[in-house]
Each structure stands twice: as C-alpha cells, then as structure tokens.
Structure 1
Amino acid sequence: MAVDMASDSAQPVLEELDRQECLRLIAPGGIGRIAFEDGEGPTVVPVNYAVDGESVVFRTSMEGRLSRSLLTAVPGGQVRAAFEVDAFQDDTHEGWSVLVRGGAHPLEGEERERAVRVDPWPGGEREAWFSLSAMEVSGRRLRQG
C-alpha cells in the first residue's frame, strides 16, 4: 500500500498581489491579452504591449476587429476593456497573473508621440495605437508554500 507523504505545506499557496507589485510584474512589456466587447460578445486577443506609468499601450491594425471596436467610442471618450498578463512554470506549478481594467482610447497626435514604444511582432501595418488606463489592477501569485 502506497502512503501519501504530501502535506499541506507542500501544496502551492495562492496569494493576492497589491497594485504596485502587479504593475512591477507587467512593467517589462511583452505579450498580453486585451478583452473587449466587439458587438458579437466578449472577445480576447493577444497584443504586444508596453507599460507607460499606470497605462498599458498597444498597437493593432486599423482594419482589425480590435481597432474597429475600440474606435467606436465618442471622440475623447473611452471604451471599457480589460488586459491580462500571466507567467507560469509548469514544472514548479508557480506563476502569477495580473488583470488591468479601465478605459481604452486611441492615441493620436502629441499623445502618441509621447507614448512608450511598442514593437508589434506581426508584420503589416499596426498604425492604430491605444492606451488602457489602469483604473483597477489586481493580481495573484501561485508559489510553493
């Protein structure tokens, strides 16, 4: 008969992260997922991003679903959206996940010129620049106990 020697201390621990730690984790930029309503229901797409203070900046094509959905806002207004980034290690069962919720708006003119640089991985034109203001930031980390 096999004896299970695992104890509760060997199980991963889930902890809530504060706003500052969440922003620190996503600060290097990379790939995240933007969630928005596209008229057909909730949609999530991956984007390259950079962090600018407490905003997430990303680019997309002008004719894409993401751009069309986020450009439907009243000029000067924002569209509610969410942004998620995570990093996990399958072998250790450790990692973290950060969720940013707020208003997304297109960057134009001087605001676009002042924005941090975002280099999209896909080829083609990615001339639609957006910023998502971090109104709500939450995150969790899974670590060994």
Structure 2
Amino acid sequence: MNQAGGSGGASLGRKLEEIDRDECLRLIAPGGVGRVAFDDGEGPTVIPVNYAVEGESVVFRTATEGRLNQSLSTVMAEAEVRIAFEVDAFDETDREGWSVLVRGGAHRMSEEEGADAAGVTPWPAGAREAYIRLSARSVSGRRVRRE
C-alpha cells in the first residue's frame, strides 16, 4: 500500500497529457475560483480569488489594502508585475481532473477599465474595489484521465 491508502497500481489505466492553450482557456472560461501566486515582499504567497476570463486575460478583484494590490501599487504606472494564476478541477472518486496555469504581467485596472470589466463577484464580504488584469503570456495545462 502507498501512503494514500491505495495500491501502487491505482493509477493504471490513467494517463497524464498536456493541454493546449485554446483548451486551457476554454476550461477556465466559465470563471469561478482560482489561486494567484505572487511575491508579496516577504516571499512567494498564494491567495484564492474569484475571477472572470476576458479573451486571453484573467480579471479579478481584491481589497485595496490587500497584499496583492499593495504589491501592484508599488510599481511604476503602466508597469506590470509578474504573477501566476492557477485553476483546477478534480474528481477524487474517478481520480481524474485538469489543472491550468496562466503566467504573465498583472496591472491594476483604472476605474474605467474596472467598470467595463466582466462581472466578478467576490465571495467574502467587504469592499473589493481594486480590479486586476493578468495578461496571459504563458498558458499551460495538464489533464489526468482514463485511457
């Protein structure tokens, strides 16, 4: 038995495959919850966010006093901060699923851009007035499924 309590052959009949850019964008297009990875000045950190997809960009909202917005506020106007964004979906019973990673430059959107942005409704209470756009430079994904 392995540490997960199953047999070592539990993955037989499943394959890991790369997902192309178009399929990755299709998988994350409905929006929902993903995770943003960035350096907050104290080192790498990851936070969950509600998001929407606009073309090849990911848009999300955060609190103006939040770590991510503060990190973006420290750069020069028009500059972008490199971040990563990840979304996945898994079926633990069937041991299948996918994961998509988007990397690129993020910037705080202007009030006008935010007003025109796709509707992103944060789950937690409180103001989430800062709109962030991640322009995808790299989009990759992997899927595990039965053969």
With structure 2 as the length reference, what TM-score do the two structures score? 0.91
Q: Equivalent residue for 1:61? A: 63
Residue type of the alignment partner of 1:144: R
Equivalent of 2:35 in 33, 36, 52: 33
> Residue 24 of structure 1 aligns to a residue in which SS?
helix
Q: Equivalent residue for 1:76? A: 78
* Cα-to-partner distance string for 1:72-110 (whole Å, 9 max, x where unaligned): 221011000000000001000000000000000011133
> Residue 86 of structure 2 aligns to a residue in which SS?
strand
> Residue 70 of structure 1 aligns to a residue in which SS?
helix
Equivalent of 1:94 in 96, 105, 115: 96
Matched, 1:106 2:147: no
Q: Which structure has the bigger radius of gyration?
A: 1
With structure 1 as the length reference, what TM-score do the two structures score? 0.92
Q: How far apart, in 1, do the equivalents of 2:123 and 2:82 lie?
A: 25
Q: Equivalent residue for 2:46? A: 44
**Gapped runs of 5+ residues in structure 2?**
1-6
* Cα-to-partner distance string for 1:15-72 (whole Å, 9 max, x where unaligned): 0000000000000000000000111111100000000110000001111111111222
Q: How far apart, in 2, do the equivalents of 1:61 and 1:71 lie?
A: 12
Q: Percent identity among equivalent residues?
A: 63
Q: How far apart, in 1, do the equivalents of 2:139 and 2:54 lie?
A: 14
